[in-house]
Structure 1
Amino acid sequence: MYHFVNLSVQPVKPRKHFFQLKFSAVFFFSLLSLFSHAQNTLSVRVKSEAGKQPLPGASVTVSPLNKGTSTDSTGLAVLTGLPDGAFQVEISFVGYSAVQKRLTLPVTKIIEVELEEAEGEDNPNIIVTATRTDRSIRNTPTRVEVIAGGEISENVSMRPGEIKMLLNETTGLITQQTSAVSNTANLRIQELEGRYTQVLRDGFPLYSGLSEGLSLVQIAPLDLKQVEIIKGSSSTLFGGGAIAGLINLVSKTPTEKRDLSFLANATSAGGFDLSGFYGQRFKNIGVTVFGSRNSGKAYDPSSTGFTAIPKFERYTITPRLFYYGNKTNLNAGVNFITEERLGGNMDYIKNNNAGYFEKNNSVRFTTQVGITHQINTHVSLNFKNSYNHFGRLTTIPSYQFDGLQQSSFSELSINAGENNLQWVGGVNLYTDKFSEVLHSNHPLRNYNYNTVGSFVQNTWSPTDKFSLESGLRGDYTSPYGFVLLPRVSALFRFSNRFTSRIGGGLGYKLPTIFTEESEERQFQNILPIDQNSAQYEKSIGANVDFTYSTSLDELKLSINPLFFYTRINHPLVLSSQGMQKAFVNVDGYTDSKGMDLSFRLTLDDIKFYTGYSYTIAQNHFGGQTATYPLAPKHKLHFDLVYEVDGSLRIALETYYTSQQQLADGSTGRSYWLTGALIEKSWKHFSLFINGEDLNNVKQTDWGAIYSGPITIPRFKDLYAPLEGRIINGGVKIKL
């Protein structure tokens, strides 16, 4: 019996091993199956919606996993090592609206995505370039405001020949007129003088020094895609000059669909504008061309005997060529502007009789080259070069200012990393040479500055709730020495509706004679900078903002308060030295602090916008505190727009500016301005009529704007409009 049992048990042992082996194999292959399922591959092909062309360099990101890559020359992006599950995938490309898709992995087919060109200032997916990272505005830690789409189109109808009004409508920005008869102007951010604002064109510093007073009234908006605004110290990004902030004018680029447009405009003040733009991409080649003629007659609406708008004639031509290779993209272009501007006594201009006048003859020639080489999906090498030649002859009775500014900018940089961790680093050389032609025994104001700089910037996004952007720049300029500029910004996304940004950094400005004060004097009796005693103007600034956005069906609401502080140590101040004046660094500081508040409400085709600025700007010199001249404490803006896309636009605007402290100790009056625009569009053309300052507010109605005889006037500070009510209208053609 025992033997029987023993025999019966023997066959059981091998069956036990067999089942153990079978269980182990099943467990192994199950793990292998799970592992293989956790290593999914996602393939996304990105094309343009308009021309169905591949978009190389587009970003494809799975934010919850901190994984991302870029598309190749065929528009294909491949992400590997992805686990099973449902994930939000974001696809974005510079100049296009980002797309978010919720995908459930695994997927076996290639996902096809078409991107639409970004338009509209309300689009949070607009890609910004001023921060060097080419991120969407909602994912950029640095606070950037973007003017795009409808706002630019609206400004083209209001002021086709200049961008002064476009910028002046932005909360916290103001254009300060620097000549009572020539209509020249500088741009102020948070009420600080225009020399503290750096204006770029496609990331190139072109508008500075001698050209500052004329730049805003010489740049036409028809070929602009968007305008990017960074408020506060931003010198770490592009070098000196951005103490109060930075403005980047982004040009239109070629698209697969032909972009051909023309504009003709006339004003009740005798102005006339003709401009045209053409852009198109042909596979690997693209081209854009912009040209304009802008002119105006001498205009004196108040019968003061002086021009509120000068007689002028300006021509602009800007051709650009683009090449799109498998790994290398290139763009190159030139810009040529020539203008004759004559303001002053109406009797002199019309009848050539004796009287006060200001003649400004200027010629600008600029070249730009940009090359981007994609080393691999995560690393690109970039090279930029620009040359700027700006000549200006300013003539007033018994005095001439004749100068030539030649500047260049060269930069080599590298971008590396993925969306969750990006690096940008590089070196640059900036040259700025000013040469004056001697027309009197006044000492020449020549200078030759060469600035060598290097920078590094990191953007770290460990989660979709937090991003940190930090940067460090070191610049050396002979003869002023070395300056180190750190900067940091952070983005907190508390929810899809509520975000906050906080940032700060250092800035600096090279000493030059080109300021609002010297511009007002046509540089007469201004001594050259004493390079042995002058030093950098250095600043520190910080800001924090909060954004709350919500929507209910067609109703969209956005509220955005910004709090800021900027301090400039030992600023350059114009001081008297006998009969002449010189710029010296004073013992003390200038600061600007306050709040900007933006409120935007959208309901179907109706948009309502309110912007309010509260600013306290002061000089703290020698233990004494004084109000910063021409810095209104309160500014308020209401904008109501009814727009049916491609059919009708009706816009009503109202502005309020509070009292301002003037340089002579007096106080300027507060005032309201109103404007209205109606534009009717059809398939290929539109007609528009616009009214500015409809309530006809003019500073000349409140008193004389000059003292002394009319032949040798001494003009007072300008704080309100001079030209009064102006009606303009015209036609736009789009083919």
Structure 2
Amino acid sequence: MKTALSSLCLIAVAFSAMAQRPCRVKDRHSGEVLPGVSVLPEKSKQGYVSDASGVVTLPQAGTYTFRMVGYVPLTRSVTAGTDTLAVELTPDAESLEEVTVTSTRTQSRIEDLPLKVEVLGLEEMNEEAAMVPGNVASLLGDISIIHVQTTSPLTGNQGIRMQGLDPKYTQLLRDGLPLYEGFSGNLGVLQIPPLDLKQAEVVKGSVSTLYGGGAIGGMINLVSKTPDKPELTFLVNRSTLKESNVNGYYAHKWGVNGLTLFTGYTHQKAVDVNGDGYSDSPFLEQFSLHPRFFTAFGKQSTFNIGYSLLTEQRKAGDMIALNEPSGLHTYTETSKLFRHTVDYHYDLRAGNNQLTAKGTFSLFDRDLTSGGYFFGGKQTSAYQELSDVITAGRHTLVGGLNYSLERFRKKAGLDTPLQDYRYETLGLFAQDDWKLTQKISLQAGLRYDHHSVFGNFLLPRLSLMTKPGTAWTTRISVGTGYKTPNVFSLITPSSAQTNLSYQYFLPIAAGVKPERSTGTNLDISYHKALGEHMTIQVDQAFYYTRIGSPVIAIPRADEPNGAELVNAAYDVKSIGTDTYFRATYDELELYLGYNHTLSRRAGSGETTYLPFAPQDKFSSTFAYTIPDKWRFGIESSWVGNQYLYNNQRVPNYWFWAAMVSRQLGPVSVVVNAENLFDVRQSGFGPVVSGGPEHPQFSPLWAPQQGRIVNLAVKCTL
């Protein structure tokens, strides 16, 4: 009897094993195994989860649904068997669209790039369009490694610092085209509203191969929306800083043809927030228009062309003078500009090749008046590029050439020694993305530039990506760069005695050399889905940049108020670490970031920190969404250990913001508050000194506009 019972048990176990079926779940595109996939049988709440090797053993044959965050759910029948069944999940199309990077020319997904790229996607752009509809400066400042520095206490000009370096080392692009260089570049992010943007791509460190040597601290590429589903969006905004915005965006596609159209108007009154008699926020009137037309010539070629118009007037200074000059109260600063830009993009796909021709042509006219002195000029800019992307086995090759032009003409009758100039650059570039194995990729690039004034530059670059585990990715890159001397790229004086007014600048001397840089970036990231509801991402980066013979402005020997460009007797060295943590749990989102950077002069014989480069910055974002109804968010940043000139340390400060959004069908109402606790530099000391006839303005290192609350109504049809 015992023998019979034992035999029956063995037979039962054997049949049970035969009824089971092991399954290995993989990513359909990359082939990587997917741990943490939830598997639910039909008509049952008892679920299963794939292990670290992506394997889940199902107890019996039947119909199962495989689910994971970021992937399309898959339902399929599973039969009994002893061999391992392969189950492939397809990444969600919407998620793929948000993390497809255009900056690298290969149209690769972000997780497949040897180069580390941070992407702020469509959701962030749509949210920012209602919170701060005038420009993207606030959105970029939420990232711990980026510090947005206000450079003018009157006009509100801003610069972007990355990796602790001066704003001139951060390259700003629109759809992969350089539009904000030279005389036309010193307002930058203040003139880019987010409503017609699809995403912002942030690359840390040098990106010399494809875009030239100017991206030494990093590069930001702002990518415009393209037409897909019909969309009509209107946005109206009003803030306590007396700013009003009216923006509209339209997109439609008819067969192979499409159109996007953005138009926006901003009006803001001059406001004296701290009561010192001078404006902390300028009078501003701005109008922008940006239509783009899309078409296709057959199935293999696409073409789009766009036009951008921007008109802007700013006026700031003594509040009495702004209303009606009286007695000694005459000091004002004004800026009037017009920008016309045409850009185009043509793609032709033939087999494994993708041939691209793109370019832009821009006319920029700006008049500046400061304290009664007038300066005006016109800049013509052009950029043309022809490139080819070839896929050959494990190699993705990018090669091409580009031509850029920057021509400046000052207006007649100006009292300034500055001279007109014309710079032309011809570049040749090649890059190879080589997938050595499933887990190791190498990117090698080389660029040769010939500058019409400053000669030749050879820029090698190398990046290596490894995936030691399913959730781990490491990237290391080494790159070189250069920056040619340009008066208009200077935003922050190198010393307290230097005046950057164009009235006193000497022409660039023949002996001034271009700056050259070498930089290294190491990035280690961990990204994992914990079941069906939660994902986490941890990223740890280290970086080092050295810039040789930086071009700085120093006081002229014969004019203490003026300046001339020279090569400094020291180098600039920046070393730092950047850490951030992202987590989502259903409708909860959390971001924590910490950046520590030491930027200083090297070889000067003493430790001198670069001014306006915070050594520590902590950023956090917390958001909760009730789908189709409410969204709540709170952001904060702590800026610490910041220095001015001669190692003068300034106080640390916190910056807090909060937002509430209510969705009512196609209408959303947003209440946003920036600088909740009203932190202002004037709370630590005066911003303006001296009499009204010759006011002296302190350098800015903290907010000056105080608490700002805005109400926005957005309607999307």
**Same fold judged by TM-score > 0.5?**
yes
Counterpart-to-counterpart distance in 1, 2:581 and 2:91: 29
Matched, 1:331 2:304: yes
Q: Equivalent residue for 1:482?
A: 456
Change (3 A) 1:289 1:124: closer
2:243 paired residue number: 271
Contact 1:222 1:277 in 2 (8 A): yes
Alignment equivalent of 1:501, drawn from 467, 475, 478: 475
Counterpart in the other structure of 1:316: 288
Quote the residue 2:555 is aligned against: 576
1:111-144 superposed Cα distances (whole Å, 9 cap, x missing partner): x99996535xxx6971101111110000011000
Task: Give yes or no for the alignment of 1:410 onto 2:384.
Answer: yes
Amino acid at match of 1:118: E
* Structure 2 match to 1:185: 158
Q: Report the alpha carbon displacement of residue 182 of structure 1 after superposing the two structures with TM.
A: 0.4
Q: 1:452 aligns with which of 406, 426, 431?
A: 426
Aligned mate of 1:249, from 222, 225, 236: 222
Match of 2:209 among 204, 229, 236: 236
Mind listing any 5+ residue stretches in structure 1 that lack a counterpart? 1-59, 65-85, 88-96, 105-111
Written as runs of structure 1 = structure 2, the 5 A alignment for 1:317-716 is 317-326=289-298, 327-353=300-326, 354-374=329-349, 376-418=350-392, 420-514=394-488, 515-517=490-492, 521-530=500-509, 532-553=510-531, 554-577=533-556, 578-579=558-559, 580-663=562-645, 665-716=647-698
| TM-score for both structures, normalised by structure 1 | 0.83
1:291 pairs with 2:263: yes
| Contact 1:446–1:528 (8 Å) recurs in 2 | no
SS of match in other structure, 1:349: helix
Note closer, same or farther for the CA distance 1:397–1:62 as it changes in structure 2 (3 Å cut). closer
Cα 1:662–1:419, aligned 2, differ >3 Å: closer, same or farther? farther
> Aligned in 2, Cα 1:567/1:645: closer, same or farther, shift over 3 Å?
farther
1:63 Cα deviation from its structure 2 partner: 5.2
Deviations 1:49-83 (A, max 9, x none): xxxxxxxxxxx95758xxxxxxxxxxxxxxxxxxx
Counterpart contact for 1:443–1:527, Cα < 8 Å: yes
Secondary structure at 1:254's aligned position in 2?
Answer: coil
Say if 1:526 and 1:582, in contact at 8 Å, map to a contact too: yes
For 2:145, the aligned partner's letter is: G
Shift of 1:418: 4.6
Matched, 1:145 2:132: no
**8 Å Cα contact 2:251/2:260 also seen in 1:** yes
1:98 is displaced (CA, Å) by: 8.4
Corresponding position of 2:130: 157
For residues 336-382 of structure 1, what are the alpha-carbon distances to aligned partners after superposition, in whole Å with 9 as ceiling and x for unaligned? 000010011111112333321110101111110111111x2201211
| 1:438 CA displacement | 3.9
**Post-superposition shift, 1:581?**
1.0
For residues 259-308 of structure 1, give each alpha carbon's deviation from its aligned partner in whole angstroms, at most 9, with x where no partner exists: 21110000011000000111121111011000000111111111011111
CA distance in 2, matches of 1:350, 1:728: 25
Contact 1:333/1:369, CA 8 A, preserved across alignment? yes
Match of 1:172? Answer: 145
Instruction: Please say if residues 672 and 709 of structure 2, whose CA atoms lie closer than 8 Å, have aligned partners that are also in contact.
Output: yes
- My pick for the range that moved more, 600-609 or 451-460, is 600-609
1:484 offset after TM fit, Å? 0.4
1:62–1:494: structure 2 CA closer, same or farther, 3 Å change rule?
A: closer
Amino acid at match of 1:727: V
Classify the secondary structure of the residue corresponding to 2:682. helix
1:520 Cα deviation from its structure 2 partner: 7.3
Change (3 A) 1:181 1:616: same
**Can you list the C-alpha shifts for 1:664-700, whole angstroms capped at 9, x where unaligned?**
6532110011110000112211001010111000001
CA distance in 2, matches of 1:567, 1:653: 33
The answer to whether the Cα contact below 8 Å between 2:415 and 2:503 also exists between their aligned partners in 1 is no
8 Å contact from structure 1 (residues 438, 444) kept in 2: no
1:470: Cα distance to partner? 1.0
What is the distance in 1 between the residues matched to 2:276 and 2:476? 49
Quote the offset at 1:444 in angstroms: 2.7
Structure showing greater Rg: 1
What letter is aligned with 1:724?
A: G
Given the superposition, is the C-alpha separation of residues 722 and 528 from structure 1 closer, same or farther in structure 2, using an over 3 Å criterion?
same
Q: 1:585 deviation in Å? A: 1.0
Q: In 1, are the aligned partners of 2:260 and 2:293 still within 8 Å (CA)?
A: yes
2:98 & 2:310 partners in 1: Cα distance? 34
Deviation at 1:231, TM superposition (A): 0.7
Alignment of 1:70-149 (within 5 A): 118=94, 126-149=99-122
Identity of aligned residues (%): 34
* AA aligned opposite 1:416: I
- 1:569 alignment partner AA: G
What is the CA-CA distance between 1:218 and the residue it aligns to? 1.1
- Would the aligned equivalents of 2:499 and 2:555 in 1 still touch at CA under 8 Å? no
Residues 264-273 or 149-158, more deviating: 149-158
TM-aligned CA distance change 1:656 to 1:114, over 3 Å: closer
- Structure 2 vs 1, CA of residues 343 and 590 (structure 1 numbering), >3 Å: closer, same or farther? same
The code of the aligned residue for 1:636 comes to F
One of 174, 186, 203 as aligned partner of 1:201: 174
- Choose 148-157 or 674-683, whichever is displaced more: 148-157
TM-superposed deviation, 1:101? 8.7
Secondary structure of the residue aligned to 2:198 is strand
Aligned to 1:722, which of 701, 704, 708?
704
Separation in 1, partners of 2:281, 2:364:
23
Q: TM-score, normalised by structure 2?
A: 0.85
**Structure 1 585/214 Cα, relative in aligned 2: closer, same or farther at 3 Å?**
same
Q: Is the 8 A contact 1:384 1:411 kept in 2?
A: yes
2: CA distance between counterparts of 1:674 and 1:611?
15
The one-letter amino acid paired with 1:609 is Y
* Alpha-carbon distance in 2 for matches of 1:664, 1:586: 16
After superposition, the Cα gap between the structure-2 partners of 1:415 and 1:99, relative to the gap in structure 1 and judged at 3 Å, is farther
Q: Distance in 1 between matches of 2:213 and 2:366?
A: 23
Classify the secondary structure of the residue corresponding to 2:705.
Answer: coil
Q: CA deviation at 1:711?
A: 2.4
State the superposition RMSD in angstroms.
2.5
- 61 and 640 in structure 1: CA distance in 2 versus 1, 3 angstrom threshold: closer
Helix, strand or coil: the match of 1:269?
A: coil
1:608, 1:638 within 8 Å by CA — same for their partners in 2? yes
Number of aligned residues: 636
The alpha carbon displacement at 1:100 in A equals 11
| Residue 591 to residue 664, structure 1, CA distance change in 2 (3 Å) | closer
Cα distance in structure 2, aligned partners of 1:419 and 1:304: 67
Give the direction of change, closer, same or farther, for the CA distance of 1:493–1:313 in structure 2 (3 Å limit).
same
Do the aligned partners of 2:400 and 2:429 also contact (CA within 8 Å) in 1? yes
CA offset at residue 403 of structure 1?
1.2
- Give SS of 2:128's match: helix
State the SS of the aligned residue for 2:190: coil
What does the per-residue CA deviation read over 1:441-474, in whole Å, with 9 as the maximum and x for residues that have no partner? 3213321100001000110113221111111000
Aligned AA for 2:258? G
